[in-house]
Amino acid sequence: MVREANVKQATAEKQLKEAQGKIDVLQAEVAALKTLVLSSSPTSPTQEPLPGGKTHFKKGHTRNKSTSSAMSGSHQDLSVIQPIVKDCKEADLSLYNEFRSWKDEPIMDRTCPFLDKIYQEDIFPCLTFSKSELASAVLEAVENNTLSIEPVGLQPIRFVKASAVECGGPKKCALTGQSKSCKHRIKLGDSSNYYYISPFCRYRITSVCNFFTYIRYIQQGLVKQQDVDQMFWEVMQLRKEMSLAKLGYFKEEL
């Protein structure tokens, strides 16, 4: 019994010493962390020794050498400064010169260099849908400014014209053929048919319409409050919206 009691006492003393050792390590790490934080403060510059025993102050901070390797692996280096990022833009000279040339004699002919590039890079991709025949008709209506978009009414489906039902429906997009909730429909020119379109298709169409509306204003001499540089960047912004739309980004009315 005495031997067993001595073994238990020795074991307990050993565990106590190990616990005290762990406590000492944790206290040392806490102290090192405090020193690191304090040394990183702008109001607490770090002193570095100079030859001859003199010291000078250096702004910033350095990692305290007493910090354990475990801490250095688990904590981010506080000396890392995140870069400041700002939006920048720079005009492509070839695009800018093409726009200036077009503005001097503005025409709506898609074969001119300025419009041809936009057709190839933005307009055609933005208005390319699985129902290609209807997509071509939509582009023609946009060019002729005869396309109209209206929200779908709240009337039950049984009151909608049969011709409109044949061109999609509130649950099927006429341009993609996919089952989508269609909150708007379009009409092309004087046609009596309505084509139901999904929010994604609507945004692609309206982004192209916005571009054509602005360049028509320029052609008609209605843009008088902007100089040529401002006009150019407005065109680039409209092209950006078309690019985002064709990539699948769109805004939906809630």
Print burial letters for 46-78: b (CB count within 10 Å at least 16), e (below 16): eeeeeeeeeeeeeeebebbeebeeebeeeeeee
pLDDT value of position 252: 75
What is the spatial distance between Cα 38 and Cα 193, in angstroms, rounded to a whole number?
A: 74
Q: What is the mean pLDDT of residues 172-194?
A: 92
**To 5 degrees, how large is the angle CA 143–CA 146–CA 150?**
120
Position 254 scores a pLDDT of 66
Both tokens of 170, joined, read: 């509130």
d(CA 64, CA 221): 68
CA distance 14 to 35: 32
pLDDT beyond 70 at 176: yes
pLDDT in tens, 48-96: 444 455 544 444 444 444 444 545 555 555 557 888 888 898 989 999 9
Query: Where is mean pLDDT largest: 24-38, 167-181, 229-243?
Result: 229-243
CA separation for the pair 128, 121 (Å, rounded): 12
Q: Mean pLDDT across the chain, nearest whole number?
A: 80
Contact predicate 251/135, CB 8 Å = no
- Between 40 and 176, where is the model more confident? 176
Model confidence band, residue 37 (pLDDT cutoffs 50, 70, 90): low
**pLDDT-above-70 percentage for the chain:** 68
Q: Which amino acid is at 92?
A: D
CB 204 within 8 A of CB 233: no
Placement of tokens 């050993």 in the chain: 14
